[in-house]
Amino acid sequence: MNRGCLGLGLLLSSALLACSAFAQPPPDFDAYYGVEKAGLTMGRATLRFRQPVPGYYDYRLRTTAVGVARLMVSSEVIERSRGKIVDTGFQPTTYHYERRGDDKARRAELRFDWQALEVLNDVAAYPWRMDITPDTIDRVISPLQLMHDLANRDPGQARLTYRIADGGRLKTYLLTIEGEQTIETPAGRFRALHIRRRDTDSDRETHLWCAPELDYLAVQVEQWEDGGLNFRLALTGVEGMDITTAEAK
């Protein structure tokens, strides 16, 4: 499984958008996904959100290879973001990346300095600084930030602009709200907003389906490139949210 398949945060790149008020953050939850490619289950991903104390968050993504993919790649990737809950959403203070279990094992850390508008990149013990904008976030917190942005968008708003510190660069993504669809997942059938994300520096597109009944949690994600489907993530279960409010499968 390639790094793109292991990094759910990459699929949902987001940034802090100006909103008049901050909706209540979601309750503590764990969301589980299956990663499919060519009809085969290649991995599992778990998103975990916690508020250790009021006004602060701890958010983690863990992805592991399973099934036939484990015969080729035995890696596990853990990404973690910690920071503050602010009026515009989520403001990271630290981001950690760790890949282990294969010959591509590595660690990386980002530390955000909001007074200086800089992020300190520490990769393989070679730290360096990069300028950021006030609305920058790390890549793994983007699913949670997207939930906030959809819940707080103005009526009729159909486009979102996102910035994310990733790979030593400040990247920009454009998201378009395409409308509503009903999506079948292993966790059930959901009414969801269809979101299309376009990369500004490639022909890759990511499509997301976010369910209002689950605080706009993504229940399905697809990545497309060169006209073909790379892989799909589908919700298999969630704890901490009332999934019974969604339409039964």
Q: Compute the average pLDDT of residues 12-37.
A: 64
pLDDT digits (tens, 9 = 90+) for 186-227: 999 999 999 998 776 667 889 999 999 999 999 999 988 877
Q: Compute the average pLDDT of residues 179-185.
A: 95
247 domain residue, yes or no: no
249 domain residue, yes or no: no
Per the structure block, which two tokens stand in for 133?
């904008």
d(CA 87, CA 11): 24
Per the structure block, which two tokens stand in for 18?
């100006």
The enclosing domain of 215 has a CATH number of 2.50.20
Identify the burial level of 60 via C-beta atoms within 10 angstroms of its C-beta, where 0-12 means exposed, 13-18 middle and 19 or more buried: middle
12 domain residue, yes or no: yes
pLDDT digits (tens, 9 = 90+) for 133-165: 999 999 899 889 899 999 998 888 889 888 899
pLDDT digits (tens, 9 = 90+) for 99-114: 887 777 788 899 999 9
d(CA 44, CA 2): 13
Tally of structural domains, the chain: 1
Long-range contacts of 118-124 (CB under 8 A, 24+ apart): 119/165, 121/168, 123/168
Range of the domain at 224: 3-238
Q: Is the pLDDT of residue 115 over 90?
A: yes
- Residue 124 is predicted with a pLDDT of 65
d(CA 19, CA 206): 25
245 domain residue, yes or no: no
189 close to 249: Cβ distance less than 8 angstroms: yes
- Residue 245 is predicted with a pLDDT of 46
In whole numbers, what is the pLDDT of the chain averaged over residues?
82
Identify the burial level of 237 via C-beta atoms within 10 angstroms of its C-beta, where 0-12 means exposed, 13-18 middle and 19 or more buried: middle
139 domain residue, yes or no: yes
207 domain residue, yes or no: yes
206 domain residue, yes or no: yes
77 domain residue, yes or no: yes
